[in-house]
Amino acid sequence: MSAMNAQPDLNVSALTEAATAARGALRALAAAPVSVRNAALMAASDALMANQASILEANARDLASANGTSAFQDRLRLDTARLAAMAQGLRDVAALPDPLARILAEWTRPNGLVIRRIAQPIGVIGMIYESRPNVGADAAALAIKSGNAILLRGGSESFYSAQAIHAAMRTGLRTAGLPLACVQIAPTTDRGFVAAMLAASGLIDLIIPRGGKSLVERVQREARVPVLAHAEGLNHTYIHSAADFTMARNILANAKMRRTGVCGATETLLLDTAIAPALLPDLIADLSALGCDFRADDAARLILPNLPAASPADFHTEWLDAILNIKIVANIDEALAHIATHGSEHTDAIVTNDQHAADYFLQNIASSVGLWNASTQFCDGGEFGFGGEIGIATGRIQARGPVGLEQLTSFRYVIHGTGQVRP
Amino acid sequence: MSAMNAQPDLNVSALTEAATAARGALRALAAAPVSVRNAALMAASDALMANQASILEANARDLASANGTSAFQDRLRLDTARLAAMAQGLRDVAALPDPLARILAEWTRPNGLVIRRIAQPIGVIGMIYESRPNVGADAAALAIKSGNAILLRGGSESFYSAQAIHAAMRTGLRTAGLPLACVQIAPTTDRGFVAAMLAASGLIDLIIPRGGKSLVERVQREARVPVLAHAEGLNHTYIHSAADFTMARNILANAKMRRTGVCGATETLLLDTAIAPALLPDLIADLSALGCDFRADDAARLILPNLPAASPADFHTEWLDAILNIKIVANIDEALAHIATHGSEHTDAIVTNDQHAADYFLQNIASSVGLWNASTQFCDGGEFGFGGEIGIATGRIQARGPVGLEQLTSFRYVIHGTGQVRP
């Protein structure tokens, strides 16, 4: 046996051990009353605050060996304010309604059978994430609340931070009397461990990757386990000819520039040709004042020749930066066709005062989230009222859009009879 | 390039062509009013009846080359009665409510945004099935009604039957003005085509296998696409000490013997020790009279020494035949532990007049369908009132239990604003 084969085997056995322990904890977790699950979150929150010093020390150790841009370092960095926000996040999840206390449907058959579709946990969730250490705490909190066990695999750059946060989650579980195996952390930073997770059909029920496009695409390509994720948010704001100009200016500025690095940010403006000459200069002035740069098609450059020219590739590019693609369209159908070709089924918006146009647009986009007269940056679990999200999904199975507690549940049927047999 | 590589490439290109055409048809199908989708089903039903002769001729061609048991030949055989039932099945699906006309949730945020979660089709479904030709018609009908395109891959044994049925479905689509690509059939019986389907992440959104355990397990093991399926129905009927004896006898006889070959059939009786001496002889007499054989544990054989002894493997065996495993248990917890170890999370029932015992049982089983005082054979889309099912699922993602029209839909969010931007 070669040395090259030894490491993957170690990863598979480590994954199998962790995931099996997580599965073993499922029944106790799912059977625990919501008061116990909430108690674990509150105690974990307390432990995060009580252990600030050791968590920040662990984070400093990660930062010391971190290479990368200042944005990368910033994502990785913890401070007392961020720790307090993380602790508050756990309390917020504890305050949410119990997603397992839901009867999703209930009906009575002509033969008297009463059929109920009731919520239940999915099982073991594998969470693969990069850089931001708070993702581990948020994900663990949502998992515990929804009765799911979770196996966390953070990036190697945040290894010590993740371990320190995980220790606080364990304290919470221990205080509440729940099995510690409910929340597990990868024991290694070896990349082969991720491969083992992706192959763990039957041990892991759902994989959720949070991170850059290359990570998510690798997970989507290789996983033999269902995946909830989005690879990118190539989002459009379409300003229709019947738009209110002031509203359009406010929405576009917010959709592009409120935060440019979030997946709900608009990357491309689609603007009806009928109003382009009158509106485009103001849109550009607003965004320029906020520090935005542009990639414009020929029609836009006929109106404002100083705009930089867009290449075809630009319209396929998720900038996550202060750059806006601009395309002038003849009408709503051209806008829809552009979105169908270039979009990522994440989040797209129309600005118009014409309800028929809005309905037509919203009916004909495949986007996970479609908005009428609102900023694309509303694509967020908190803004949906979910209290938290474990990610955004653009697939077609189980969930789309922000994935909150309800989307982390499955269901089963419970049938009450009085002796019925089938004819 | 070797000849061995040539065949898989042909399969991949054939699959890619079919699935791409199906994807291209999605928007037109999803946008079609339910009246148009229903018209396609009615016209397909008419075409099945109008083309009886050619369908039966195709079926005769399949039967002529079919080897296998008489049960296998029977599953494959079509006759005028079965064709009429198939045609009626399409009309039944047409009569069901539109699964796309559902607002799954609707709420208003403090900032005035109105958020709706609305049903939408999943996309392209890959259906892999064996022997029963009607499965292709049923699956195509459910797909059309729910706005999904479908790619059918029947067994090689039913190739000509499947082609003839597919022709009728095409007639239905053509009559209603829907794209013919909505319902596709595998152009080859090559097994490599199945491998191409299972690898078609991004082209096929969901795979549904219907067939024997080895087919389903292969699909679950190899698929890079989400799968809805059950590999087996290792179902239990647990007769609790507080059961009504007459009800227990009726339910067990039905659960085991109504039809032994269906996935909802009971395979194992769990019987509380307190009532075993009084009840077991009657249960055995009832089932023996129906032609059932037994595999009993030692405790049962202390009561009835003539019962054949069970091996440990028997309790892991889905007989799909007139054979019942019997185990005497000390109490409900031993019954639950046995189900957790030996069950397949398909369908399990408790018979008792003690509501607390029933609640405890139903809360602590992971089964897709749990029943109280009813036969396990009620695990069926028709019996649930779904009007039809494309299969039974025991996984944790998207759906569990009978998969009907609603479970063949996904959702997306549509948000109505009045100019809101995110702070």
Q: Which pLDDT score is estimated for A8?
A: 55
User: Which residues from B are below 8 Å from A119, CB to CB?
Assistant: none
Let me know the angle formed at the C-alpha of B303 by B297 and B305, rounded to the nearest 5 degrees: 70
pLDDT tens digits for A227-273?
Answer: 999 999 999 999 999 999 999 999 999 999 999 999 999 999 999 99
Instruction: Say whether B422 and A383 touch across the interface (CB within 8 A).
Output: yes
Query: Considering chain A, what percentage of its residues have pLDDT values greater than 70?
Result: 98
What would the two tokens of residue A269 be? Answer: 């403006």
Contacts of A388 (CB under 8 A, 6+ apart): A89, A92, A93, A96, A138, A141, A142, A381, A382, A404, A405
The candidate with the shortest Cα–Cα distance to A158, out of A65, A229, A83, A71, is A65
Q: In CATH, which of 3.30.2350.10, 3.40.605.10, 3.30.1360.30, 3.50.50.100 is domain A7-229+399-416?
A: 3.40.605.10
Report how far residue A321's alpha carbon sits from residue A53's, in angstroms, rounded to the nearest whole number.
34
Contacts of A239 in chain B (CB under 8 A): none
pTM of the full predicted structure?
A: 0.92
Low-confidence winner among A55-69, A291-305, A320-334, B1-15 (lowest mean pLDDT): B1-15
Lowest mean pLDDT segment, chosen from A1-10, A335-344, B47-56:
A1-10
CB contact under 8 A, A221 and B201: yes
Q: What is d(CA A177, CA B238) in angstroms, rounded to the nearest whole number?
A: 31
Checking if the pLDDT of B114 tops 90, the result is yes
Residue B359 to residues A420, B352, B354, B406, Cα–Cα distance (Å): 18, 10, 9, 27
What was the pLDDT predicted at B420? Answer: 98
List the single best residue of B108, B118, B422 to mutate versus A (max A Cβ within 10 A): B422
| Contact yes or no for B247 and A419 at CB 8 A | yes
Tell me what pLDDT residue A31 has.
87
| Mean pLDDT computed over every residue of chain A | 94
- Residue B31 near residue A364 (C-beta atoms within 8 A): yes
Mean pLDDT of B210-216: 92
Residue type for position B58: A
CB B262 within 8 Å of CB B290? no
B83: amino acid identity, one letter? L
Of the candidates A204, A197, A268, the one whose C-alpha atom is nearest the C-alpha of residue A232 is A268
The Cα angle at residue A280 between residues A275 and A281, in degrees rounded to 5: 130
B113 and A366 within 8 Å at the Cβ level: the answer is: no
Burial label, B108 (beta-carbon count in 10 A; 0-12, 13-18, 19+): exposed
User: Would the CB atoms of B369 and A205 count as touching at under 8 Å?
Assistant: no
Cα(A370)–Cα(A99) distance, integer angstroms: 25
Residues whose CB falls within 8 Å of the CB of residue A70, separated by 6 or more in sequence, listed in order: none
Please name the residue of chain A whose CA is at the shortest distance from the CA of residue B117: A369
Rounded to two decimals, the ipTM of the complex is 0.94
Beta-ladder partners of B270: B238, B327
pLDDT, tens digit, 9 for 90 and up, residues B295-333: 999 999 999 999 999 999 999 999 999 999 999 999 999
Structure tokens at A118: 């009731």
Answer whether A7-229+399-416 and A235-383 agree in fold.
no
Listed in sequence order, the residues at least 6 apart from B288 whose beta carbon sits closer than 8 Å to its beta carbon are none
Are B412 and A369 in contact (CB < 8 Å)? Answer: yes
> In terms of CA atoms, which chain B residue is nearest residue A358?
B416
For range B339-343, the mean pLDDT: 96
- From chain B residues 204-223, the ones with a CB under 8 A of any chain A CB are 205-206, 220-223
pLDDT tens digits for A351-408?
999 999 999 999 999 999 999 999 999 999 999 999 888 999 999 999 999 999 999 9
Closest chain B residue to the Cα of A253, Cα to Cα: B421
- Searching chain B, which residue's CA lies closest to the CA of residue A372? B416
Which residues in A141-239 belong to E strands, given as ranges?
Answer: 149-153, 183-185, 206-210, 235-239
Q: Which of B250, B364, B385 sits opposite A419 (nearest CB)?
A: B250
- Whether A91 has a pLDDT exceeding 70, the answer reads yes
Residue of B nearest to A27 (CA): B364
Q: Which chain A residues are Cβ-neighbours of B120 within 8 angstroms?
A: 366
State which CATH number among 3.30.70.260, 3.40.605.10, 3.20.20.70, 2.40.40.20 fits the domain covering B9-229+399-416. 3.40.605.10
Q: Does A346 touch chain B (CB under 8 A)?
A: no
State how far the Cα of A4 lies from the Cα of B354, in Å rounded to an integer. 59
Confidence of residue B8 (pLDDT cuts 50, 70, 90): low
| Residue of chain B whose alpha carbon sits nearest to that of A255 | B421
- Residues B295 and B311: beta-carbon distance below 8 Å: yes
Evaluate whether A223 touches A198 at the Cβ level (below 8 Å): yes
Is the pLDDT score of B201 beyond 70? yes
Q: Which distant-in-sequence residues (6+ apart) come within 8 Å of A405 by Cβ?
A: A93, A96, A99, A142, A145, A146, A386, A387, A388
Cβ pair A226:B223 closer than 8 A: no
Tens of pLDDT, residue by residue over B30-51, are: 889 999 999 999 999 999 999 9
CB contact under 8 A, A412 and B385: no
Tell me how far CA of residue A253 lies from CA of A154, A249, A292, A370, B36, in angstroms.
Answer: 34, 6, 9, 18, 42
B154, B169 contact by CB (below 8 A): no
Q: How many residues does chain A have?
A: 423
Average pLDDT of the residues of chain B: 94
Task: Report domain extents, chain B.
Answer: 9-229+399-416, 235-383
List the one residue out of B363, B354, B378 whose CA is nearest residue B237.
Answer: B378
The whole-angstrom distance between A356's CA and the closest CA on chain B is 13
pLDDT attached to residue B2 = 39
- Across the interface, whether the CB atoms of A123 and B396 are under 8 A apart is answered yes
Q: Are B317 and B267 in contact (CB under 8 A)?
A: yes
At residue A2, the pLDDT reads 39
pLDDT of residue B7 exceeding 90:
no
Fold classification of A235-383 (topology level): Aldehyde Dehydrogenase; Chain A, domain 2 (3.40.309)
Query: How far is Cα B112 from Cα B109, in angstroms, rounded to an integer?
Result: 5
Residue B68 in tokens: 């296998």
> In chain A, what's the furthest Cα-to-Cα distance?
79
B 5-34 → A contacts, CB under 8 A:
27, 31
A-chain residues near B366 (CB < 8 A): 27, 120, 412
Nearest chain B alpha carbon to A243:
B419
Residues in chain A with CB shorter than 8 Å from the CB of B250 are 419, 421
pLDDT score for A418: 98
B418: which chain A residues are within 8 Å (Cβ-Cβ)?
373-374
Do the Cβ atoms of B368 and A413 come within 8 Å? yes
pLDDT in tens, A186-239: 988 888 999 999 999 889 999 999 988 999 999 998 898 999 999 999 999 999
Question: Among A231, A336, A146, A406, which residue's Cα sits nearest to residue B117?
Answer: A406
Say yes or no: B49 contacts chain A, CB-CB below 8 A: no
| Residue numbers in B near A412 (CB within 8 A) | 366-370, 400-401
Of A226, A362, A416, the CB nearest to B414: A362
Is A414 in contact with B251 (Cβ distance < 8 A)? no
CA dist B221 and B219 (Å) reads 5
Query: Which of A29, A100, A103, A113 is the best substitution to test chain B (most B C-beta atoms within 10 A)?
Result: A113
Cβ of B369 within 8 Å of Cβ of A415? The answer is: yes
What is residue B245's predicted lDDT score, i.e. its pLDDT? 98
CA distance B174 to chain A (A): 23
Q: Which of residues 347-386 of A touch B (CB under 8 A)?
A: 358, 362-364, 366-375, 377-378, 380, 383-385
Task: Return the pLDDT at B64.
Answer: 93
CB pairs < 8 Å spanning A and B: 196
